[in-house]
Structures are given as structure tokens and as C-alpha cells.
Amino acid sequence: MQILDVRTIVFADTINFIVCTCFVAALWRQNRTRFAGLQFLVAAFSCQTVAVFLIMLRGVIPDLVSISFANALVFTTSILALMGLERFVGKVRSQWLNFTLLGIYSVIFISFAINPVSLGIRNYAVTIGLLLIWAQPMWLMLVRTDRELRPVTFSVGLVYAGFCLTNLIRLGHYLTSPMAQGDYMKAGAFEVIALLAYDVLTVALTIALVMMVNKRLAMELKSREETFSAAFRAAPYGLTLTSLEDGTIFEVNEGFTDLTGYTREEVLGRSTLELSLWQDSEHRQEIVDELLQHGKIRDREQRFRRKSGEMQTGVFCADIITIGNRRCILTGLSDISRRKQMEDEIRNMSLRDSLTGLLNRRGFFVMTEQKFKEANRTGTKLQLVYIDANDLKKINDSFGHDEGDRALQDLAQVLTATFREMDIVARMGGDEFTVCFTEPQDTHPEKALERLQHNIADINEQHARPYHLAISFGTSTYDPLNPRSIDELLSQADKEMYRHKQSKSG
């Protein structure tokens, strides 16, 4: 007497497949955006669950459903699983042969339901058909998959090899034993053992799929870590990875050691405050507060201290990132000390007008050439204004040169107040001034010139001078798409300025 019969095993199969389907569905939900093909695996397990449930109902529902449709679902399950695995490993190929086989077997099992045949013939058909299909994912996982991915897919291929081996044993049993007759639900002990083996293999397949996806995740994570590490080490600027909480340094690159003079071993495990990298200890807290508020910092000039104690100036960028549930700061620092030194040297050269403090003619050309280069990179148009202080000769003749100088200083003050710090304001000599600027969202200088006229009117009201400041001006535009020299632009603006002066005198 058999302790277990086929119907009991099939019922257990149904429960088993429901549980396994839930696991595979959870696996798909967690990784559906990372890996292709997992949705086919969910569909495959779902189809198998329905197929086993229909087989369990054999004798309760029509044979056309419990035999024909159920077995067609079993074959569909295997094809869907193969399609999912092919997409997972990137080895997709046409399934027309398998679907042709599915069509043939569907017709065969429909004929079995209409004209019942011996159980042995049905067993032969199922065993051979599944062997043909199950051999394909076994070959895919063990051989067709790229060599570097085979350690990930090996366990799944091994389980499919187990399915194929079980089918070969079943086929050998059918060939060496009398052909089975009667109801499949009353099959003997061998069929019960075979079904139990399928149960174990199904659970093993589910576990193998979970392991495969997790190994693939680990492999990709390792690859990304190696890529990040290589980029981190090779970056031409200094990079540090520090704790948001206390500034403990986790990692630095060669750029950092070159900038600061510290070795990697000297800084790991120590805080930036302990190393006195910041110009002032309060600066770090200001940086942390800003990061917490905005999430990132870009292109901030920051003073930092080298191991030697020498202060340097760098361009500072920072982001908050999370590593293993710990918030960290990824910092980039580029040394611009040489550039700042050059800027200081330029400022200290004879580029300033001694009377007004503005750039002189030479300073104007030096700074404007740099601004033109920047405009060429960004595609920004620049405005150039040529300004003449009206009646300066009359002021000198009538009130003396001291008043004339004061008039030039007043005009310089107005120009500085009207234009921004980033704009270039210069005294070209005598009573002539120039301005090179970009007006936000307005490529025409009218708005700036209106502000200038308004400010001149204000200073005339505020200062009790024996004269009133007045100017004439002309403009020209530098367009990176049609570049011209500074001299050409000055000449055009100068001509417009004289036309403006003549129109006022006329």
C-alpha cells in the first residue's frame, strides 16, 4: 500500500508552486529595473501553478482542460522560463522552433483527450517534450552564457541538468517497464518518486534563481565600485570621502596627497579638523550646514592648509552621499593658488589709474581680452560703452584742475556704482572712460545706460558742485559668432559717442 499517491503529491505541488511563484514575483519586484527577463520567470511560475492545479482536478473537470490545456501550460512554462533566462544573460534568440513544438504537443494532447490512449504513451510524450525544452536552459546557463557570467548562472544550469536527468531516468524506466495503463492519479510508486524529485528541483530552481540574481547584483556592485575607485584615484583634482558627522577621512586620492602634502596613510581614520585642513574650524560646520540645506556645493573658493602649514586657495565642490546607511561627504578640490597669484600680480601691475582707481587703458585691454575669451567659450554677447565727460575743459578753465579732477572722480564713482563688480570699468585717458559688460537677459545696453544717467542726476543733486556732470556715450557689441577686435569695437563706440555729443550740442 502506497503511503503517498499521485493526487496528494500534485496537491502538494500546487502549494509548492504558489510559494515559489511568490518568491520569484518578489525577486522581480525588487530587481525589475536592473535586469531584463525576470517578468518572464514570474509568468512561467504562474503558468506552472495553474497547470498543476488543473492536473490536480483531473476527474473533476473535463479531460480537455486537465490533460490538454494543463500540459500545454507546462510546455509554455518551460518556454517562458527559457525566454526570461536568455534576456537575463543577454543571449536572446528566436523561439519559433519551441513554439512550433508547443503547437504540435497541444494538438497531440487534444487528441489524447478526445481519443484516450494508454498512460504510457502520454508519459512518453510529456517526458520527451520536456527533455527537449529543459535541455536548452541547461545549455544556456552552463555553456552559451558569457564566460565571466557563468559563475552566476551555474547553479541554475545545474538544477536544469537535474530536471533533464530526472526525465532521462523516467524515460529509461518507461522503456524497460511494461507500458502503464489507467488513470495517472493512480500511477505507481515510481511516478510518485519522480513527482517528489520535481518538487525538490522546483524549490532548488527557485533558490538558484534568487542566488543568481543576488550574485549578479554583487558582481555589478563590485564592477561599479571598481569603476568608481578607478575614477576616484585617477581624478586630476583632490578627492576626499569623509564622515558627515565628524569629518573622519575614509578615502583620498593621489590628487589630494599632491595638493596637501600628506600621504594616504597619514590621513585615513583622522578628521579634517584634526589635520587642520580648514583655514578656520568653523568653516567646516558652515559647509555641513549648507550641504544639509541644499545637498551640494559647487565652485566655491576655499582656503585650505597644507601639511607644511602653507595656506592655499582652491575651488571646492561637495555632495552628500550615503554609503552603507552612513551619510558621507564627497569633496573635490582644485588648487587655484597659481591663478589667484597671477590675478594678484595683474592687479598689482600698473593697470590702475592713479586718479580714479579704475583700470587704465592697459588694464582695460588685459581684462577685456580675458572677458572675450570667456564669452567665446560660453557664447555670451558683450556690450562695450565708450563714455566722454562733457565740458571737462570748461570745468578746468573756469574752476581749476582740482575741480576737473574731482569731476573725473565723481564720474568714476558713478560708473563703479552703476555697473557690477564683474564688469570692466576703465579710464582710457583724459575725459574718456570705457565699460565692458553683460546685461542679464538683455543684450542691449539701454537699461544700464538709463541707470547711469539716473545716477549722474543723483550725484549732481547730492554734491554742491559749481558744475553739473554730463556725459556722451556710444556703444558697440561683441558677438562670439562674429568676433571683432577690441580696437574695432572701441572705434565704433567712439564714433557713436561723437555723434551723440554732436546731437546734444546741436
Give the pLDDT confidence score for residue 440 in this predicted structure.
59
Q: How far apart are alpha carbons 413 and 390 in whole angstroms?
A: 16
- Whether the CB-CB separation of 153 and 212 falls below 8 Å is answered with yes
Give percent of the chain above pLDDT 70: 88
Q: How far apart are alpha carbons 272 and 296 in whole angstroms?
A: 19
Q: How far apart are alpha carbons 140 and 159 in whole angstroms?
A: 12
Q: What is the pLDDT of residues 358-399, one digit of tens each?
A: 999 988 998 899 889 888 888 888 999 999 988 888 888 888
Kindly state the DSSP code that residue 485 receives in the 8-state scheme.
-
Res. 357: pLDDT tops 70 = yes
Widest Cα–Cα separation across the chain: 134
> Which residues have a Cβ under 8 Å from the Cβ of 359 and sit 6 or more positions away?
351, 352, 353, 367, 424, 425, 426, 427
Give the pLDDT confidence score for residue 364 in this predicted structure.
92
Length of the chain: 506
Confidence of residue 6 (pLDDT cuts 50, 70, 90): low
Q: Which of 166, 104, 92, 108 is nearest to 135 (CA)?
A: 166
Give the pLDDT confidence score for residue 412 in this predicted structure.
92
Res. 406: pLDDT tops 60 = yes
Q: What is the pLDDT of residues 12-52, one digit of tens each?
A: 778 888 888 888 888 888 888 888 889 999 998 898 888 87
The secondary structure of the chain in percent helix, strand, coil, rounded to multiples of 5, reads 60, 15, 20
Give the pLDDT confidence score for residue 185 in this predicted structure.
53
Give the pLDDT confidence score for residue 441 in this predicted structure.
47
Give the pLDDT confidence score for residue 2 in this predicted structure.
47
Residue 275's φ and ψ, nearest 5 degrees, are -85, -5
Confidence of residue 119 (pLDDT cuts 50, 70, 90): low
Average pLDDT on 179-192 reads 59
Which of 137-151, 178-192, 313-327 is the most confident on average? 137-151
> CA torsion angle for 179, 182, 183, 184 (degrees, to 10)?
0
Average pLDDT on 430-443 reads 77
Q: What is the pLDDT of residues 243-291, one digit of tens each?
A: 888 889 988 888 888 888 888 899 898 988 888 888 777 778 888 888 8
Give all domains of the chain, ordered by start, each with its CATH number.
6-226 (1.20.1070), 235-336 (3.30.450.20), 349-505 (3.30.70.270)
Residue 115's φ and ψ, nearest 5 degrees, are -120, 90
Average pLDDT on 432-438 reads 91
Res. 443: pLDDT tops 50 = no
Q: Which of 295, 297, 301 is nearest to 279 (CA)?
A: 301
Helix (H) or strand (E) holding 447: helix 446-462
Q: How far apart are alpha carbons 338 and 341 in whole angstroms?
A: 5
- Whether the CB-CB separation of 336 and 315 falls below 8 Å is answered with yes
> Which residues have a Cβ under 8 Å from the Cβ of 60 and sit 6 or more positions away?
66
Q: How far apart are alpha carbons 238 and 330 in whole angstroms?
A: 11
Confidence of residue 184 (pLDDT cuts 50, 70, 90): low
- Tell me the three-class secondary structure of 271-322, residue by residue: ECCCCCCECCHHHHHHHHHHHHHHCEEEEEEEEEECCCCCEEEEEEEEEEEE
Give the pLDDT confidence score for residue 197 in this predicted structure.
81
Query: Radius of gyration (Cα) for the chain, nearest Å?
Result: 42
pTM of the model: 0.53
Q: How far apart are alpha carbons 335 and 314 in whole angstroms?
A: 4
Q: 142: which 3 cell numbers? A: 552552463
Q: How far apart are alpha carbons 86 and 323 in whole angstroms?
A: 33
- Whether the CB-CB separation of 113 and 64 falls below 8 Å is answered with yes
Give the pLDDT confidence score for residue 84 in this predicted structure.
92
Confidence of residue 4 (pLDDT cuts 50, 70, 90): low
pLDDT, mean over the chain: 83
Q: CA angle, 125 as apex, 123 and 127 as ends, to 5°?
A: 65
Residue 410's φ and ψ, nearest 5 degrees, are -60, -45
Res. 488: pLDDT tops 90 = yes
Res. 67: pLDDT tops 90 = no
> CA torsion angle for 32, 36, 39, 44 (degrees, to 10)?
-140
